[in-house]
Structure 1
Amino acid sequence: MPDPLAADLRDPAVLAALEALGAGRIDVLDEVGSTNEQLTAAVLRQARGAAPARPWTDLSLLLTGHQSAGRGRLDRVWTTEPGTALTFSVLLRPAGAGGRPLPTQHFPWLTLLMAAAVVEALAGVAGAGARIKWPNDVLVDGRKVAGLLAGLVLDPHRAPAVVLGTGINVSQEELPVATATSVRRATGRDVARAAVLEAVLGAFVPRYRQFCADPAAATGPGGPLRRLVEDRMETLGRSVRAELPGGAEPVTGTAVGLGAHGGLLLRDDAGTEHEVTAGDVVHLRPAAPGKA
């Protein structure tokens, strides 16, 4: 018998709504260690010739009632109490006109577009004033309510794909750290995981298609998707410290915008602009007046 923790996600009406939004294959698991790892393994099996009855196509989804061993950036553990979080991974095969695969240099925008979709979804279903913390967190009142993690899937027979995982704290009353929150704690509202999922995908899919049609125009200077993401960012206008990978010297400055491929632009005290493409960002003080 299906685990009751996943019953809400198996509801035929929910699955039909996701299909109507453009989802490909949809699998719902009772419990899994990591949706990203599970989906990546399934896609690689398909790449090796183990053709499934239902192929893993663009916008395919893997959902779980409970993720027991999720990981975030830098291999940090991401765990939740059973039944309290919305956890899913989506397979993305970005392609433009004529099905031509997009260059991987554009892929960092996918995480930011999903983060923006989470912000919109939480506002719509729960009235939450969520914001994006670059590169892959969503905050409410400065506390983390959601995290995202993207991984590249290399297939020797076709263009690289992306598995993008999202975890949203929905109904937790107790969180393991003071820097985390849930939709319930932040808003006092009880919302259904399925409603959040439908809202997230409903916001993400049209922007994803717009991005695929012309990523340079959509995310270049003044581009509509760049503006959309920047308007939802908590990081912009703040004094931040970027802690870089590989032991490089941290960079401190004011976050002033996003680069062509989704990197964070920092301006230091000397007026020099730096683009951070990977690393942890620490918010040092609130945004300047006029910034969110």
Structure 2
Amino acid sequence: MPDPRAADLRTPAVLAALQELGAGRIEVLDEVGSTNEHLTAAVTRQARGAEPARPWTDLSLVLTGHQSAGRGRLDRVWTTEPGTALTFSVLLRPADGRGRAVPTQYFPWLTLLMAAAVVEALDRLAGAGARIKWPNDVLVDGRKLAGLLAGLVLDPHRPPAVVLGTGINVSQEELPVATATSVRRATGHDVGRSDVLVAVLGAFVPLYRQLCADPAAATGPGGPLRRLVAERTETLGRSVRAELPGGHDPVTGTAVGLGPHGGLLLRDGAGAEHEVTAGDVVHLRPAPGPPGRA
């Protein structure tokens, strides 16, 4: 008998909806340590010649009823009660209509576009009022509702791919930390995980296709995807501290916009501008006025 923790994610209707969106191979697991690690390992095995009959193509998915050893940025552990969160990873092989690979410098936009898709889906399903916290969290009223984590997958025979994992708190009543929330707690609405899954991917796939078609135009100054993400990003216009990797001193300033490759533009107290491309951002307080640019 199928494990009830994943039964809602493997119904024929859900699988058909995912295939209609263009999903490749779909694997639904009752429980797994990490969907990102599982999918990365599977794609790596395929690159070495295994599983030739069931290729991991673009938009392939791993879904789970329960992720028991998930991790977020800075290797933070994140686990919740079985059956209460939506956790999935998608394989992305970004290429244009002629099959030309999208340059890797545009890959950071993939996480931001998935975050924007989560915002759109949860607002439509539950009126969540969600916002993006750069670079990979979704918040409601300042509390974390969803987190994303992307990793690069290298293959000697083809361009690099991305495994993008998404975890959304759907029906939890209790969360590991006081700064987290769920759709149920934030909105009072009970929504199904499968409904959230289809809505999120339904919002993400068109954005992904638009990025692949012309990344420079879509994310350059005034580009539609850069505007879309900026409009949904709570970090912009705020005073923030960016904790940088590699032991570098943190940068404090006002977040004034997004860079051409998804970085966060900060203006410090002396008026100098910095672009943060990686790190952990702390929201300090609201900044007066709108951000300088998208």
Quickly name the TM-score band, shorter chain normalised: over 0.9
Q: Which runs of 5+ in 2 are unaligned?
A: none
CA shift for structure 1 position 53: 2.7
Alignment-mate amino acid for residue 63 of structure 2: L
| Contact map agreement 1:116 1:229 (CA 8 A) in 2 | yes
Counterparts of 1:81-160 in structure 2, within 5 Å, are 81-160=81-160
Counterparts of 1:33-52 in structure 2, within 5 Å, are 33-52=33-52
**Matching residue of 1:193:** 193
Q: Deviations over 1:194-219 (max 9, x none)?
A: 00000100000001000000000000
| Contact map agreement 1:235 1:287 (CA 8 A) in 2 | no
Look up the SS of the partner of 2:149 in the other structure: strand
Look up the SS of the partner of 2:159 in the other structure: coil
Q: Matched residues in 1 for 2:52 and 2:29: separation?
A: 17
Alignment-mate amino acid for residue 114 of structure 2: M
Alignment-mate amino acid for residue 167 of structure 1: G
| Contact map agreement 1:92 1:161 (CA 8 A) in 2 | yes
Look up the SS of the partner of 1:284 in the other structure: strand
CA shift for structure 1 position 52: 3.9
With normalisation by structure 2, the TM-score equals 0.97
Number of residue equivalences: 291
Alignment-mate amino acid for residue 138 of structure 1: V
Alignment-mate amino acid for residue 20 of structure 2: A
Look up the SS of the partner of 2:109 in the other structure: helix
| Contact map agreement 2:80 2:176 (CA 8 A) in 1 | no
Q: Matched residues in 1 for 2:58 and 2:246: separation?
A: 33
Look up the SS of the partner of 1:242 in the other structure: strand
Counterparts of 1:130-279 in structure 2, within 5 Å, are 130-279=130-279
| Contact map agreement 1:95 1:212 (CA 8 A) in 2 | yes
Look up the SS of the partner of 1:122 in the other structure: helix
Q: Deviations over 1:37-58 (max 9, x none)?
A: 0000010111001134321100
RMSD: 0.9
Look up the SS of the partner of 1:70 in the other structure: coil
- Percent identity between matched residues is 87
Look up the SS of the partner of 2:208 in the other structure: helix
Look up the SS of the partner of 1:39 in the other structure: helix
Q: Matched residues in 2 for 1:287 and 1:125: separation?
A: 30
Alignment-mate amino acid for residue 21 of structure 2: L
CA shift for structure 1 position 187: 0.2
Alignment-mate amino acid for residue 117 of structure 1: A
**Matching residue of 1:21:** 21
Change in Cα spacing, 1:172 to 1:274, as seen in structure 2 (3 Å) is same
Question: Please, which moves more after superposition, 92-101 or 142-151?
Answer: 92-101
CA shift for structure 1 position 80: 1.0
Q: Deviations over 1:233-259 (max 9, x none)?
A: 000000000010111111000000000
CA shift for structure 1 position 289: 4.1
Look up the SS of the partner of 1:114 in the other structure: helix
Alignment-mate amino acid for residue 120 of structure 2: E
Alignment-mate amino acid for residue 53 of structure 1: A
Q: Matched residues in 2 for 1:121 and 1:287: separation?
A: 27
Change in Cα spacing, 1:287 to 1:168, as seen in structure 2 (3 Å) is farther
With normalisation by structure 1, the TM-score equals 0.98
